[in-house]
Amino acid sequence: MDALERLQSILQTKTISYAERERIDFSEYEKFISLIKQYYPLFHEKAVVERVGMYSLLYVIKGTTDLNPIGWMGHYDVVPVNPEGWNHEPFGAEVYEDYVYARGALDMKGHVVAMLEAIESLLVEGKTFERDLYIMLGHNEETGSAMADSGAKAIKELLISRGITFECVLDEGGAFIDGKKLGVNGTVALIGVAEKGYLDVEIMARREGGHASTPPERSALFEVTQAAGLMESNKFKADFNPATRAMFEALVPAMDQPLKFLFKYKDIFKPILLNVMTKNPETAATVRTTAVMTMASGSKAPNVLAQDAKVNLNCRIVPGDSVEEVVSRIKRRIGSRFTVTPINGNNPTSVSSVESRCYTSIDKVIKEVYPDIKVVAPYLMIAATDSRIYHDQAEGVYRIQPFMSIKDDRPTIHADNERVAISSYYQGIQFFKALINALNGLI
């Protein structure tokens, strides 16, 4: 069996994660754990292996020194699928026109398998590590590290109890993108150095109910959606945060004119640049806190007025902002007639250094393995990963991407026909081998 066949076999495990834990088929999780033990025997022989929170996995390969270890994160659960939207069986891992189609091919079992292939290959070559190597595989990342039974959180708490801190932690979340939107004629590799904060805010209006045939001048549902609409129609102020500043400082040398000139003097031209950036949803999300309505509820019947009408605002918070400040702004903007309740809130992470040994090593390896890359830059991740919980336990936390084909196939993540190019998969294995070598000082 070769590396491609192992990838296909592992992608066929239906490790679907649900918030309702009773819906999860944990026998598929056991199948995944059994397969990686079978396919990567030397890795399992050399590592101390622990199961944490039942199904999350912690591996430790001892190094030859007491230098701070390197942590590699991943998760092997996947989001549910809608089979009707797929052209290929979602867990068939079918090869078609040089791609492997399967849920998890990109997010992120393919990433995990490429990493394990790299480690096993290095061990077969007889390599030893200068630093301890920690591999931390969560089993329920897709339902969020805020959940009480989060596998990632359980691993972190176990490591804290043992006094473990890291030189750096690496996880999913980097990207390869077409640089045109950023003024770069070529492919840009992005290394995530921070994540936006996350916050759900429930806005509630409480009014008298009654029969819908005699409605008041304004119903509770009308008032609460109008209040929430104020947050969408009056956006949060845009500005360059530390992560976005670092990104443009790295991009400027590779930019075409006139953007090169404008971003070189971005503080002078800030009003113009921010005005342009906020016109595009992707770039707007990197320079301001966002708030958008995602759920609404009213009465239980179509002919009954709602007594308690609620709208959920999903907010993503830029570095320099905070949960408390966002909640305060919402309250000021909509007024005191509404109840505002923050839910599931966490602040943005700190911004990891681009001067560290880890970051410069990642930068160097990307340029070596992917020679067609025009420029490497740090960036602010606007989604969320489990790695956010390690910012207080590591000198730096970085989010990387091993597969160049994500440049075209990013829209398939969490969507129909998720796939990875076979050539990108093999290149990803080489990327991980080179990066493990660079970070861990293989001997």
| Domain at 118, CATH number | 3.40.630.10
* Phi, psi at 6, each rounded to 5°: -65, -40
Task: Return the closest-CA partner of residue 72 out of 437, 381, 436, 401.
Answer: 436
Mean pLDDT score, 149-178 = 96
Residues forming beta bridges with residue 21, ordered by sequence position: none
- 14 within a domain of the structure (yes/no): yes
| b/e map 58-89, b = 16+ CB within 10 Å | bbbbebeeeeebbbbbbbbbbbebeeeebebe
Q: 253 CB contacts (<8 Å, ≥6 apart)? A: 375
| Domain at 211, CATH number | 3.30.70.360
Q: 268 CB contacts (<8 Å, ≥6 apart)? A: none
Chosen domain end from 346, 373, 403: 346
Chosen domain end from 318, 346, 374: 346
- 356 within a domain of the structure (yes/no): no
- 369 within a domain of the structure (yes/no): no
Mean pLDDT score, 46-54 = 96
| Domain shared by 167 and 289, yes or no | no
Q: Which of 62-71, 72-81, 83-92, 203-212 shows the lowest mean pLDDT across its residues?
A: 203-212
| Domain shared by 277 and 163, yes or no | no
pLDDT of residue 146: 75
pLDDT of residue 217: 86
pLDDT of residue 443: 53
Confidence band for 135, pLDDT divided at 50, 70 and 90: very high
**Residue 232: how many other CB atoms lie within 10 Å:** 12
Beta strands in 175-242, from DSSP E residues, in sequence order: 175-178, 187-195, 197-206, 210-211
Cα–Cα–Cα angle for 17, 133, 76, nearest 5°? 10
State yes or no: pLDDT of 121 exceeds 80. Answer: yes
State yes or no: pLDDT of 442 exceeds 70. Answer: no
Looking at residue 42, the DSSP 8-state letter turns out to be H
State yes or no: pLDDT of 119 exceeds 70. Answer: yes
| Domain shared by 201 and 169, yes or no | no
**pLDDT tens digits for range 204-226:** 999 888 888 888 888 989 999 99
Percent residues over pLDDT 90 in the chain: 89
| Domain shared by 139 and 229, yes or no | no
Q: How many domains does the chain have?
A: 2
| Domain shared by 169 and 231, yes or no | no
State yes or no: pLDDT of 145 exceeds 80. Answer: no
- 189 within a domain of the structure (yes/no): no
Q: Which of 181-185, 310-314, 355-359 shows the lowest mean pLDDT across its residues?
A: 181-185
**pLDDT tens digits for range 391-401:** 999 999 999 99
Task: Return the closest-CA partner of residue 436 out of 368, 372, 358, 371.
Answer: 358
Q: Burial of 418 by CB count in 10 Å (0-12 exposed, 13-18 middle, 19+ buried)?
A: buried
| Domain shared by 169 and 223, yes or no | no
**pLDDT tens digits for range 215-271:** 888 898 999 999 999 999 999 999 999 999 999 999 999 999 999 999 999 999 999
| Domain shared by 238 and 322, yes or no | yes
Range of the domain at 120: 3-173+383-440
At residue 256, what is the residue type?
D
**pLDDT tens digits for range 183-208:** 999 999 999 999 999 999 999 999 88
Give the predicted TM-score (pTM) of the model. 0.93
Residues forming beta bridges with residue 133, ordered by sequence position: 61, 70
Half-sphere exposure of 14 (CA within 13 A, CB side): 12
Residues forming beta bridges with residue 201, ordered by sequence position: 313, 342
Distances, alpha carbon 13 to alpha carbons 321, 413, 421, 425, in Å: 40, 17, 19, 18
The DSSP element (H or E) to which 108 belongs, if any, is none
- 188 within a domain of the structure (yes/no): no
Rounded Cα–Cα distance for residues 246 and 344 (Å)? 29
Q: Angle, nearest 10°, between helix axes 422-440 and 3-11?
A: 100
| Domain shared by 297 and 424, yes or no | no
- 361 within a domain of the structure (yes/no): no
Distances, alpha carbon 246 to alpha carbons 190, 342, 392, 430, in Å: 11, 31, 21, 28
Tell me the helices (H) and strands (E) count for the chain, helix number first: 14, 18
pLDDT of residue 380: 96
- 204 within a domain of the structure (yes/no): yes
| Domain shared by 209 and 165, yes or no | no
